Amino acid sequence: MSEEISTQETETPPEACELTTMLEQEFPGAVTGFHSHRGDETVIIERSALESVCRFLRDDSRCSFEIMMDLTAVDRLEMNETPRFEMVYHFKSLTHARRLRLKVRLAEDDCKIASIHHLWKAVDWYERECFDMFGIVFEGHPDLRRILMYDEFEGHPLRKDYPIDKQQPLVELKEVEERHVYGRHA
Amino acid sequence: METDYGGFKTTKFDSVVNWSRKFSLFQYPFVTACCGMEYMAAACSHYDISRFGAEIPRFSPRQADVLWVVGTITHKMSPILKTIYEQMADPKWVIAFGACASSGGFYQNYSVLQGIDRLIPVDLYIAGCPPRPEAVLDGLVELQNSIQNDGPTANGITPTAIRHKDQKADQLNRYFEISKKEVFENLQNPKSNRISTPGFTYSEDFVNVSPHIGYDSPRMQKDKAALKEK
């Protein structure tokens, strides 16, 4: 059995986190937290600063994150964390061969965030998927509607309070003896 | 099954018609997911579904006999599947190919229809995830038997399992009888000095062959204890 590597050995010291220090200088007050694992950084920022930070990351020659890799959300209801939702953005820079993860925390009753589709076109469908699965509204998105589920579906299935196997059939199904109770631990 | 055509019993006629139906099945492969790979494997030259007469896939429901529902059917897809089924002309049969079409498979969630028999009547279920091409061909042969014996009324009313219960029971008994003997004989490693009958014991060479697993089967535990005593 290999020995467990402690987090301290893999965590790069704060002085070596280039992107974090750059963001803290350019956008004072926006960065609320960060960590870094073997040189790959994660920065937690305020929701109000998202659009300007993303534009800076794309346009500035020191960062030049050309590729928007992923956009997803985490529902932290079962971890008993507030704010409930955490948006996770992954960026990749080809010129500097670097990746960055950006996190934004959203409260349950106010899950709206600015859309960044005008910066990266690929974000369009990612934001639609986030809206479909979590119910997070992206302000400024040109066509925010469901992408994976059908329009008649009620609710947002990847939220933790949606019973995972509650079915909403579109056509009338034959009656089958249901012995299963909806919910995750049934 | 005998039918009446204006007062005449037509048994021979039925059996001839059913014979021709079963050996000329036009398939509609409603393929959605990974099972499609095994469907393609069964249809191509190595396993060759055309030996059984079911050669051509007809991609129009109007021209097809058998609806092969291959892969996962979600609720979003279910109205489409129902439309396709209704567009097919009688006589028609439905095959639920794979675990997802039979029962929802390992997807028990908000989006997957838990088995297409909740939607349309199914004649044949081929289990597997995905089923081997040999299982597909075995299923096809069973469907052909049921078409021959039951005719167009095979559509979900007299499932083959009930009709051929005795035959199936014989097959299963035979399988269990031969499996114990043949499995152990064929597993015998030429380098080992194990006894080939089911009462084999692990030899000293092989008792510690996988220590990294960290689990000893009851047979292994017994044999290790016996070797230690020696």
Residue of B111, B112, B119, B120 to mutate when probing chain A, most A C-beta within 10 A = B111
Q: Which amino acid is at B51?
A: R
Task: Find the largest Cα–Cα distance for chain B.
Answer: 84
Q: Domain B4-161 belongs to what topology?
A: Rossmann fold (3.40.50)
Q: Which residues partner with A41 through β-bridges?
A: A36, A100
Where in chain A are the domains? Answer: 7-139
Closest approach of A75 to chain B, Cα-based (Å): 17
In whole angstroms, what is the distance from residue B133 CA to residue B140 CA? 10
- Shortest distance, CA B81 to any CA of chain A (angstroms): 10
Q: pLDDT tens digits for A93-127? A: 999 999 999 999 999 888 899 999 999 999 999 99
ipTM topping 0.85: no
The answer to whether the Cβ–Cβ distance between A167 and B75 falls below 8 Å is yes
Q: Give the Cα separation of A165 and A170 in Å (integer).
A: 15
Asked if residue B29 lies in contact with residue B55, where contact means CB atoms within 8 angstroms, the answer is: no
Does pTM surpass 0.90? no
Q: List chain B domain ranges.
A: 4-161, 168-229
Q: From first to last of the 186 residues of chain A, give the pLDDT tens digit.
A: 445 556 666 777 777 788 888 898 999 989 998 888 887 899 999 999 999 999 999 999 998 999 999 999 999 988 888 899 999 999 999 999 999 999 999 998 888 999 999 999 999 999 999 999 999 999 999 888 889 998 888 889 999 888 887 888 888 787 665 555 555 554
Query: At which residue do the structure tokens 């109205």 appear?
Result: B79
Is the CB of A167 inside 8 Å of chain B's CB atoms? Answer: yes
Torsional sign, CA B76, B79, B84, B88: positive
From chain A, the residues in CB contact with B211 under 8 A are none
Mutate to test the interface with A, among B72, B74, B76 (most CBs of A within 10 A): B76
Mean pLDDT over residues B24-37, rounded?
94
For residues B10 and B139, the answer to whether their CB atoms sit within 8 Å is no
- Given the candidates 3.40.30.10, 3.30.460.80, 3.90.1170.50, 3.40.50.1000, the CATH classification of the domain at A7-139 is 3.30.460.80
CB within 8 Å: A173 and B118:
yes
Residue B20 identity? S
**Closest residue of chain B to A166, computed from CA coordinates:** B110
In chain A, what residues touch B122 (CB-CB under 8 Å)? none
User: Which are the contacts of B131, defined by CB distance < 8 A and separation ≥ 6?
Assistant: B35, B38, B97, B98, B139
d(CA B143, CA A112): 55
